[in-house]
């Protein structure tokens, strides 16, 4: 197993560790959880870079890397709803987009088509991670000056989630058309 795939597995194992600290009733547990979330999110960037730079892209990585990302982000978003820090509709929009694009990718793969990540998708991921972190740390340090950075970050995450989903569907509409034959 190569290093990139090991990092993906580490990200998956960090999800329950993140959740444990997030709901642990000790001082600064949310900051510890945020730190774990940041480390897990950074493994996504790192494993992709390593796989590409070393030409070690594998079928395992192609499947597990996006799954690990979805597990981490979904766990964080659902937890934030449970904690009363995020509206459920935001999570439904984000998770619905993930299901839709994953379904599109499965249909495309069954027809021998690979749908690569787009820049919109990368921006979506970055804005989601920034929004999650800002909510986890209670909008620090912006809460000290009354700036609703966390709310702006959530709005941007939803906006880029919708834009990236529409972009994937529009650019790959041939997949839908060919699957109806």
Q: What is the distance between the terminal CA atoms of the chain, rounded to a whole angstrom?
A: 39
Q: What is the pLDDT of residues 24-47, one digit of tens each?
A: 999 999 999 999 999 999 998 899
Label residue 180 by pLDDT band (50, 70, 90).
Answer: low
What residue ranges do the domains of the chain occupy?
1-65, 85-181
* pLDDT for the residue numbered 131: 98
Mean per-residue pLDDT, 133-150: 95
Mean per-residue pLDDT, 86-105: 95
* pLDDT for the residue numbered 179: 59
Please say if the pLDDT value at position 161 is more than 80.
yes
* pLDDT for the residue numbered 66: 86
* Per-position b or e across 52-88, b if 16+ CB within 10 A of its CB: eeeeeeeeebeebbbebbebbbebbbebbeeeebbee
Please say if the pLDDT value at position 82 is more than 90.
yes
Neighbours of 170 (CB within 10 A): 8
Residue 105: helix, strand or coil by DSSP? helix
* pLDDT for the residue numbered 62: 81
* pLDDT for the residue numbered 181: 58
> How far, in Å, CA of 95 to CA of 90, rounded?
9
Of 139 and 112, more confident: 139
- What distance lies between CA 120 and its chain's CA centroid? 13
Closest C-alpha among 145, 143, 155, 160 to residue 30: 143
Label residue 174 by pLDDT band (50, 70, 90).
Answer: confident
pTM: 0.92
* pLDDT for the residue numbered 36: 98
Percent of residues, the chain, with pLDDT higher than 90: 75
């Amino acid at each position: 197993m190569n290093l990139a795939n090991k990092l993906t597995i580490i990200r998956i194992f960090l999800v329950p560790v993140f959740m444990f600290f997030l709901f642990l009733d000790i001082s600064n547990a949310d900051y510890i959880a945020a730190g774990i979330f940041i480390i897990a999110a950074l493994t996504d960037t790192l494993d992709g870079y390593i796989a590409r730079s070393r030409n070690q892209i594998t079928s395992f990585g192609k499947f597990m890397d996006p799954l690990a990302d979805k597990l981490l982000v979904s766990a964080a978003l659902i937890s934030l709803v449970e904690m009363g820090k995020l509206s459920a509709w935001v999570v439904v929009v984000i998770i619905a987009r993930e299901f839709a694009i994953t379904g599109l990718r499965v249909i495309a793969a069954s027809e021998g088509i690979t749908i690569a990540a787009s820049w919109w998708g990368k921006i979506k991921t970055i804005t989601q991670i920034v929004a999650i972190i800002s909510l986890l740390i209670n909008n620090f340090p912006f809460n000290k000056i009354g700036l609703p950075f966390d709310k702006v970050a959530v709005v941007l995450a939803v906006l880029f989630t919708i834009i990236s989903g529409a972009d994937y569907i529009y650019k790959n509409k041939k997949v839908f058309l060919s699957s109806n034959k």
